[in-house]
Homo-oligomer: A and B are copies of this chain.
Amino acid sequence: MDIDPDTAPLERRLEALGVDGYLIDDDASDPDQRYLSGFSAPDPYQTLITAGETVLLVSGLEYGRARSEATADTVARLSEYDYQDHVAEHGPFEGKIRTIAAFLADHGVGSVAVPRRFPTGTADGLRDHGLSVTVETEGVVAGIRATKTAWEIDQIRATQRANQAAMGRAESLIASADVAADGTLIHDDEPLTSERVKTEIEQTLLEYGCGLDETIVACGADGADPHDRGSGPLEAHEPIVIDIFPRDKETGYFGDMTRTVSHGDPGEEVRRRYEVTREAYEAGLEAVEPGVTGAAVHDVVCDVIEDAGYETLRSDPTTETGFIHSTGHGVGLDIHEEPRLSPAGEELEPGHVVTVEPGIYDPAVGGIRIEDLVVITEDGTENLTDYPVALEATLR
């Protein structure tokens, strides 16, 4: 990995907290761990950041790979701190604590800040050995991660390319389907279900080295709940929300895109809502630039939707129809990260990668959402998404 994190803001925070270092004890499923260590392993390992140095503590099993792959300055292994002896004498739990304590002492660290989700077992264990452990509650590492390097942007762009191929496959399946007498879609003589489209999406992503935990293919009323993943037969003349957020299996970087398509005319009200959503999406994309706040972008999007006569959470915080989520979020090693394009959204900066994804929802009509992924540049944005915006499902 080639992330090259800028740890200066973290070092300033450590100084403000008056502690010697920042310690993570987690596996690489934690985005902060993966980011700061520049390493990925399935079992927990430790990353220590002090003024000017990043050090990993890994098992002998991971040592060789960590030495060649990790961006950390130094890689230490458990055996250097008598891990096996500690375990033999005190058992695996206390043995590991003593090993970490010895590692910290070796680096002159008597006090650490830790992330909110740092294991209490480790924190209390280290405290028992006289170390000071303080939780860093502001999420300074998430803030650092928000600004991507050119290398990171390339990884996100690559995932988004895979996403485009998967979206093309999904849309083509819907476009080429037949319609049964009851109005449901049929493909190769079998019902075209949400589940089947999701499997084809995932199989396409695999060809690009990407995977996903979940994806949304939600038809009609299902699509009107932004958190419904969708299930069962897809229907003609209904809007179908397809939201794909894959992750590159190698680099860990996500992509994110949504399109809404229909097989056959979904009727005037859906068409009107689609056009309003598209206007809001275009206005949102236009509004994103360095120096603007995420809140201001969200306001622009709400303006378009409210002006067209639909509710938003801004016009009515209790509404269950209309635009019932925020405009977008950061994307990187996590699918939802900073910055937010929401009422609380702060100033956007070059290197931020954000979604712009307005939608209009009503169980009686269905759901509409259109989403692109863009990177903020010195003078505007670059759209990382290259996929047509059209309601009528088309062979791609």
Contact = CB atoms under 8 A, between A and B. Distances in A.
Interface of A: 29, 42, 61, 93-94, 114-125, 133, 135, 137, 199, 202-203, 206-207, 211, 213-214, 227, 249
12 contacts: A61-B227, A93-B116, A116-B119, A116-B120, A116-B121, A120-B123, A121-B137, A123-B123, A203-B203, A206-B206, A211-B211, A213-B249
Nearest to A211: B211
A121 B93 contact: no
A161 to B, nearest CB: 17
A192 to B, nearest CB: 16
Task: Please indicate which of the listed interface residues A115, A118, A124 has the most CB atoms of chain B within 10 Å of its own CB.
Answer: A124
Contacts of A249: 213
A202 B211 CA distance: 10
A182 to B, nearest CB: 26
Contacts of A214: 42
A137 B125 CA distance: 11
A343 to B, nearest CB: 13
Contact of A119 (B120, B133, B213): B120
B121 A118 contact: yes
Contact of A121 (B94, B117, B121, B227): B117
Copies in the complex: 2
Contacts of A93: 116, 137
Contacts of A207: 199
Nearest to A199: B206
A213 to B, nearest CB: 8
Task: Please indicate which of the listed interface residues A29, A61, A203 has the most CB atoms of chain B within 10 Å of its own CB.
Answer: A203
- Top 9 closest A-B pairs, CB basis? A116-B121, A120-B123, A117-B119, A118-B120, A121-B135, A120-B120, A93-B137, A203-B203, A199-B206
A94 B138 CA distance: 11
Contacts of A227: 61
A249 B213 CA distance: 8
Contacts of A124: 123, 135
Contacts of A135: 120-121, 124-125
A232 B359 CA distance: 44
Nearest to A200: B206
Nearest to A203: B203
Task: Please indicate which of the listed interface residues A115, A125, A135 has the most CB atoms of chain B within 10 Å of its own CB.
Answer: A135
A207 B196 CA distance: 9
Contacts of A61: 227
Contacts of A118: 119-121
A207 B190 CA distance: 15
Nearest to A115: B121
Task: Please indicate which of the listed interface residues A119, A207, A214 has the most CB atoms of chain B within 10 Å of its own CB.
Answer: A119
A214 B28 CA distance: 14
Given A42-B213, A42-B214, A120-B120, 18 more contacts: A61-B227, A93-B116, A93-B137, A116-B119, A116-B120, A116-B121, A116-B122, A117-B119, A117-B120, A117-B121, A118-B119, A118-B120, A118-B121, A120-B122, A121-B137, A202-B211, A203-B203, A213-B249
